[in-house]
Chains A and B, each alone.
Chain A
Amino acid sequence: MFALTNTTTRLAVAGLAAAAFMTTFTAQAEWKPKGPISVVIGFAAGGGTDTQARLISAELKKRKGWNMIPSNLSGRGGVVMARKLKSMPNDGLSIGMAVTEVFGYNMLASKKSGYKTSDFTYIATTTSSQMGIVANTSKGWKTFKDVIAAAKKGKVFKFAGMSAKHADINFLIEQKYGVKFNTVVLRGGRKVMNAIIAGDVDLGYGAGIQAKAVMSGKMVNLASGLGERLRISPNAPTLVEMGIPYDIGAKFIFVAPAGIPADARKALADAIGEVINDPSTKASKFVSKRYGGPDVVTGKKLDAYIANEIKAAKVLMKLMK
Chain B
Amino acid sequence: MGLLDHIWLGIVTVFTVDPVFSIAGLPISMTIIMVFLGLIFGIFVGATPGIGGPVAMAISLPILISIFGFKADALLPVLGFLVGIMKGSTVGGAVPAILFNTPGTPDSLMTTLDGYPLTKKGQPGKALRVAHFSSVSGDTISDIVLITGAPFLAIIVERFLDFPEKAALIILSLAFVSAVVGSNVWKGLLAALLGLFMAYIGTGEDGHPRLSMGSDNLANGFPLISAVLGVLILGEVFKSLEDMWREMRETSTITKVEVKGDNKLHLSDIRKILPFIGISASIGTMIGALPGIGSTLAATLGYATGRKIHKGSPAFGEGAIEGIAATEAANSAVAGANLIPVLSLGIPGNISAVFILLATESIGGFVPGPQVFRLVPDQINQEMVYAFGLFTAMIFANGLNWTFGGVFMRWMGVMIKIPKQRLLPIVLLLTLTAIYVQQTNMFAVYVTLGFGFLGYFMRKLNFSVLAFVIAYILANNLEESMRQAFAVTGADPWFLFASPTSIIFVVISILVVIFFARNQKDLN
Contact = CB atoms under 8 A, between A and B. Distances in A.
A75 B219 contact: no
B383 to A, nearest CB: 8
Q: Could you say which interface size class chain B belongs to?
A: 35 or more
Contacts of B365: 45-46, 54
Contacts of B366: 46
A183 interface: yes
B371 A182 contact: no
Contacts of A213: 376
B207 A84 contact: no
Given A61-B69, A112-B208, A218 B220 contact: no
A51 interface: yes
B370 interface: yes
Contacts of A201: 488
Nearest to B165: A200
Contacts of A272: none
B288 interface: no
A54 B71 contact: yes
A174 to B, nearest CB: 12
A186 interface: yes
B251 interface: no
Interface in B199-231: 203-209, 216, 219-220
A113 B207 contact: yes
A240 interface: no
- Give the most central of A35, A190, A198, A201: most B CB within 10 Å: A198
A75 B208 CA distance: 11
A194 B364 contact: no
Contacts of A36: 440
Contact of A75 (B205, B370, B374): B205
Nearest to B492: A182
Interface in A153-197: 156, 158, 160, 180, 182-187, 190, 194, 197
Interface in A1-54: 35-36, 38, 44-46, 50-51, 54
Contacts of A61: 69
B500 interface: no
A44 B360 CA distance: 12
A73 interface: yes
A67 to B, nearest CB: 9
Contacts of A182: 487-490
Given A50-B364, A186-B484, A198-B158, A216 B206 contact: no
Interface in A180-234: 180, 182-187, 190, 194, 197-198, 200-201, 212-213, 216, 218
Contact of A218 (B162, B377, B488): B377
Given A45-B361, A58-B71, A194-B371, A112 B206 contact: yes
B367 interface: yes
A79 interface: yes
B69 A183 contact: no
Contacts of A50: 364
B480 interface: yes
B378 interface: yes
Given A87-B219, A200-B162, A79 B488 contact: no
A73 B376 contact: no
A251 interface: no
Nearest to A110: B207
A200 B378 contact: no
Contacts of B219: 83-84, 87
A82 to B, nearest CB: 8
A36 B71 CA distance: 16
B372 to A, nearest CB: 10
A83 B210 CA distance: 13
A281 to B, nearest CB: 13
Contact of B374 (A87, A197, A216): A197
Chain A interface mostly: mixed
Nearest to A201: B488
B279 to A, nearest CB: 38
A69 interface: yes
Nearest to B486: A184
A69 B371 contact: no
B64 to A, nearest CB: 14
A184 B220 contact: no
B207 A200 contact: no
Contacts of A198: 158-159, 370-371
A126 B162 CA distance: 35
Interface in A68-83: 69-73, 75-76, 79-80, 83
Contact of B487 (A35, A45, A58, A185): A185
B488 A184 contact: yes
B70 interface: yes
A75 B488 contact: no
Contacts of A197: 371, 374
A77 B374 CA distance: 26
A80 B207 contact: yes
Contacts of B440: 35-36, 38, 69
B70 A69 contact: yes
B403 interface: no
A188 B204 CA distance: 15
Contacts of B162: 200
B379 interface: yes
A46 B379 CA distance: 16
A73 B69 contact: no
Contact of A114 (B208, B374, B377): B208
Given A75-B205, A79-B207, A54 B158 contact: no
A54 B371 contact: no
A51 B219 CA distance: 25
A216 B364 contact: no
B208 A200 contact: no
Interface string B57-100: 00000000000011110000000000000000000000000000
A200 B204 contact: no
Interface of A: 35-36, 38, 44-46, 50-51, 54-55, 57-58, 61, 69-73, 75-76, 79-80, 83-84, 87, 110, 112-114, 156, 158, 160, 180, 182-187, 190, 194, 197-198, 200-201, 212-213, 216, 218
5 contacts: A45-B365, A184-B484, A194-B369, A218-B376, A218-B377
Interface of B: 69-72, 158-159, 162-163, 203-209, 216, 219-220, 361-362, 364-367, 369-371, 374, 376-379, 383, 440, 480, 484, 487-490
Given A69-B440, A200-B163, 13 more contacts: A45-B361, A46-B364, A46-B366, A51-B364, A55-B71, A57-B70, A69-B70, A71-B362, A79-B207, A83-B219, A184-B488, A186-B484, A200-B488
